[in-house]
Structure 1
Amino acid sequence: MSSPCDPEHAPAGDVSAALMMIDSRLKAIYDGRTGTDPEQQQMVEQFAATLGPDGVDALLDGTCTLIYMFMQWLATVCEDHDEEVIEYVLPTHVATMRMMPKTFRPEVIPTMAGLVIAAGTGLSPSLWRAQYGEWTDAETNALEATAVLLAERINRIADDHDFATRMITDVLTRSGQG
């Protein structure tokens, strides 16, 4: 039986813009920068200001698409090792967010866990989340972090700091969107 949250019903969003933001965060992590780089934050804010409401929605949907794609890749890897992807990803993901209460308010963690679970069970994270109304500012911060944490996990598995970004770029190129 088909679910209204099946990915085939979901907008892909602006995956390229979402990937650019995630890649920027990953590069900051790998360069050893901690905290928010004021110059980078200003650039992100300027970029977001040019998007308008529809562009912001497309960016959120694009980030959810990345989460879905990352979880599908991780599910394939987990299957090869007789592991369950949700069991592999979720505990460390939640623990990481709980260690940073100033960055991630406790009430957004269940939503982000739900996004990971939705993607891990083959549902669209954006359609799953849409049933609960508009995104809050705290959730958008944690949404970006969810995608970054998943990409970083993939990069560690591949032992390549650019693997997750390159994987998505390759998919976009093959589909004619990159």
Structure 2
Amino acid sequence: MSSFYDPRYAPAGDVGAALMVIDSRLKAVYAGKSETGPEQRLLTDQFSASLGPREADDLLDGACTLIYMFMTWLRKAHEDHGKDVIEYVVPNLVATMRTMRRSVLPEAIPTMAGLVIAAGTGLSPSLWRKQYGEWTSEEMNPLEATAFLLAEHINRITGDRDYATRLIANALSSADED
């Protein structure tokens, strides 16, 4: 019996745009820019302002799809080593988010942990989240941070700073071919 939260019932959203945001953040961090500069903030503000309600929803769903895809990859990688992805990824994610006090409010951390746990157990993070109502503006930075931290974790595991981006880009290319 399939769950209402099965990913096949979830909208994929704009995975390409969500990936672009995360890849941009990864490149900035790897370049040694822990703070977003004025030029990057201006571009981000312009991009955000250009989104209508539909595009904003698609970007949110795209970020949730990224989280699902990253957690699926991490689950398989951990299972190959006889480890539980929830046990090894979630505590690290939560601990890191707790240090990100300016970007991630403490009250958003349980929701982000829930998204990751949902994805790690094969459920759609976006459908899981929707049961609690609409997204709040306070959840936008934590959502981005969650996708970013998962991508960075994958890159660190593989020793390749572009692996997570390539993983998704290859999956999108394969989907376009089908």
Aligned residues: 177
Q: Who is 1:92 aligned against?
A: 92
Q: Who is 1:172 aligned against?
A: 172
State the alpha-carbon separation in 1 of the partners of residues 170 and 112 from structure 2.
Answer: 26
Aligned-partner SS, 2:82: coil
Stretches of structure 2 that go unaligned for 5 or more consecutive residues are: none
State the alpha-carbon separation in 2 of the partners of residues 102 and 26 from structure 1.
Answer: 18
Deviation at residue 79 of structure 1 after TM alignment: 0.4
Deviation at residue 101 of structure 1 after TM alignment: 1.8
Aligned-partner residue type, residue 80 of structure 1: D
Q: Who is 2:159 aligned against?
A: 159
Aligned-partner SS, 2:103: coil
Superposed, 1:1-178 pairs within 5 Å as: 1-176=1-176
Aligned-partner SS, 1:11: coil
Aligned-partner SS, 2:51: helix
Aligned-partner SS, 1:122: coil
State the alpha-carbon separation in 1 of the partners of residues 160 and 33 from structure 2.
Answer: 18
TM, length-normalised to structure 1: 0.97
State the alpha-carbon separation in 1 of the partners of residues 11 and 37 from structure 2.
Answer: 31
Q: CA RMSD in A?
A: 1.0
Q: Identity rate of aligned residues, in percent? A: 65
State the alpha-carbon separation in 1 of the partners of residues 135 and 60 from structure 2.
Answer: 9
Structure 1 ranges of 4+ moved more than 4 A: none
State the alpha-carbon separation in 2 of the partners of residues 173 and 2 from structure 1.
Answer: 28
Could you list the per-position Cα deviations for residues 35-71 of structure 1 after superposition, in whole angstroms to 9, with x for gaps in the alignment?
2222112111211211200000000000000000000
| Larger deviation, residues 44-53 vs 19-28 | 44-53
Deviation at residue 74 of structure 1 after TM alignment: 0.3
Could you list the per-position Cα deviations for residues 142-178 of structure 1 after superposition, in whole angstroms to 9, with x for gaps in the alignment?
000000000000001111100000110011011118x
State the alpha-carbon separation in 2 of the partners of residues 102 and 163 from structure 1.
Answer: 28
TM, length-normalised to structure 2: 0.97
Aligned-partner residue type, residue 157 of structure 1: I
